Amino acid sequence: MPAGIDIAKGRWMICKIKGEKLSLQLSESLPPPEEKTLIDIPIGLPESSFRKCDILAKKFLSHRSGSIFMVPVRDAIYAQSYEQALIINREKTGKGFPKQLWNIASKIREVDELLRKNPYLSEILIESHPEVCFLKLSGKVLPSKKSSDGIKERIKILSEHLKGFERFAERAFGEFPNLKDDILDSCVLALCAGLDLEFIPKEPERDRFGLAMRIAYPVL
């Protein structure tokens, strides 16, 4: 049962696919995955520079490169405040990072701690990025996922791979009306978790705890 996980307003939006049936769950905490799962969260934290996978993913996405954040160093992610994190990251990389990324720092720590305590999960829980997945599935950069055209395009793409997806999306949007983009992101990650994967970069760097710093995408 492949799964995809996205952050949705401070919680985890979890999509699972079993046969032709999709399910969604909104969870405060991250349950340890049982089968291959793609998650839109940084895995593997740098010490004093930027992750190669983020640099390459920005180039890959081109006009949608702003959706890729340059992940702060580990000490910044584990800082006590955004102000302290900025100081640490500037000292080590010469750059700050947006408050939007700091707002998910607790989620990054949650995944980091889960994988450090359970190293075997690192082959099951794998970092990916919805925009990279949609680009590989469609062959084009899509309109913003916040726009009506962007939502329609993404539903169309997913419908080509998942039977009955339009009806599923309609029901899901009714249940979670303010989380449409998070629903679509978790669904594309779940879809791609069931496909063959390659990685950016092909030979990943590893952080000091041995976690691979890489972004998965589907091979069609």
Number of Cβ atoms within 10 Å of the Cβ of 206: 11
Question: Which pLDDT does position 116 carry in this prediction?
Answer: 97
| Domain interval for residue 172 | 3-69+125-218
Residue 88 lies in a domain: no
- Number of domains the chain is built from: 1
Question: Which pLDDT does position 15 carry in this prediction?
Answer: 98
Question: Which pLDDT does position 65 carry in this prediction?
Answer: 67
Confirm if 134 and 61 have CB atoms less than 8 A apart: no
Residue 78 lies in a domain: no
Residue 143 lies in a domain: yes
Residue 61 lies in a domain: yes
Alpha carbons 137 and 131: distance in angstroms, whole number? 10
Is residue 45 pLDDT above 90, yes or no? yes
Question: Which pLDDT does position 215 carry in this prediction?
Answer: 98
pTM beyond 0.75, yes or no: yes
Residue 193 lies in a domain: yes
Confirm if 11 and 26 have CB atoms less than 8 A apart: yes
Residue 138 lies in a domain: yes
Is residue 97 pLDDT above 90, yes or no? yes
Alpha carbons 204 and 219: distance in angstroms, whole number? 17
